[in-house]
Structure 1
Amino acid sequence: MKAENCYKWTGPLPTTCIETEPFWEACNQERFLVQKCRDCGEVQYHYRAFCCHCWSDAIEDLPISGAGKVWTFSVVEVNRSPQFAEWGMYVTGVIEIPEGVKVISRILTENPHHLRIGDDVRVAFATAETGQKIPVFVASENSSEDR
């Protein structure tokens, strides 16, 4: 696996809007944001302009620690979508983060068939040709090594 922060992104690029621009700018600074509502105290992800729990607009950015655990995942062995053609076999999954939400992401791992639910992962940022950084999660080198 590559050294941290040296990943190349070859997939589709995000479309940004005024609501999501702060999230993508934070990614370019290698910070992953979720949000916390000042009115109800709930944490949310995906990034948006209002609280999905109480509809308040009193939300604030909450950078995550970067740690997480695989909650579920799928190994994609064949994908006929042209935008994913370069990926070959890859893993997509749901990551449970300590801040209280689950994040859908690509999971980078040396051997997809050794990944297990509960394995430790850490956020990293892959760089697209445009310079935009895309969050991905990387499986811990020590997780599942003996499987």
Structure 2
Amino acid sequence: MRPLPELTPENTAFWTGGADGKLMIAFCADCNHAIHPPQLICPKCWSEAVESRPVPGTGTVYTYTVNHQPWAPGMQVPFTLAVVDLDGAPGVRVTAEVVGTDPESVAIGQTMRISFANIEDIWFPQWEKAQ
């Protein structure tokens, strides 16, 4: 069982955007700074005009790890977690599980695309290799 994040005003769009197939990232409406994790105030210009916008849902693997240790009873291993530099959101990296491929086949520099796993009201981002 995966623990579910608490939905807050600043993070709800990120955790629920997958229902529409969209990766939602917070941006400052005043200076256009991409903000992740989402916050209510822009850390660059201190504006409170923060809004969530869809991004392309693609990016490049910055780094990754292959986990062989089950952290909880029943956890399937091995699995890969990748940190991906997002297209359309400069400076933002999203860490998520890589699905649909051999865990050992992930490499730095690969292009990935987003998919989502739904549990209750949460849509967890997952990475897949882009074709």
Length-normalised TM-score, structure 2: 0.85
Matched, 1:40 2:31: yes
1:71-90 superposed matches below 5 A: 71-79=62-70, 81-82=71-72, 85-90=74-79
Length-normalised TM-score, structure 1: 0.77
Alpha-carbon distance in 2 for matches of 1:131, 1:55: 31
What secondary structure sits across from 1:70 in the alignment?
strand
Stretches of structure 2 lacking an aligned partner (at least 5 in a row) = none
1:98 to 87, 103, 112: 87
Matched, 1:115 2:106: yes
Stretches of structure 1 lacking an aligned partner (at least 5 in a row) = 1-9, 143-147
| Runs of at least 4 residues off by over 6 Å | none
What does the per-residue CA deviation read over 1:12-60, in whole Å, with 9 as the maximum and x for residues that have no partner? 2111123322333323222111122122221121122111222211122
1:57-72 superposed matches below 5 A: 57-72=48-63
Question: How many Å apart are 1:94 and its aligned residue?
Answer: 0.7
- Report how many residues are paired: 129
Alpha-carbon distance in 2 for matches of 1:27, 1:64: 12
What secondary structure sits across from 1:27 in the alignment?
helix
> What is the identity, as a one-letter code, of the residue corresponding to 1:88?
V
Residue in structure 2 matched with residue 136 of structure 1 by the alignment: 126
Percent identical = 24
What does the per-residue CA deviation read over 1:60-118, in whole Å, with 9 as the maximum and x for residues that have no partner? 22201111111100001113x227x4231111121011121211111224211111101
Report the RMSD for the aligned CA atoms in angstroms. 1.9
- From the two aligned structures, give the one with the greater strand fraction: 2
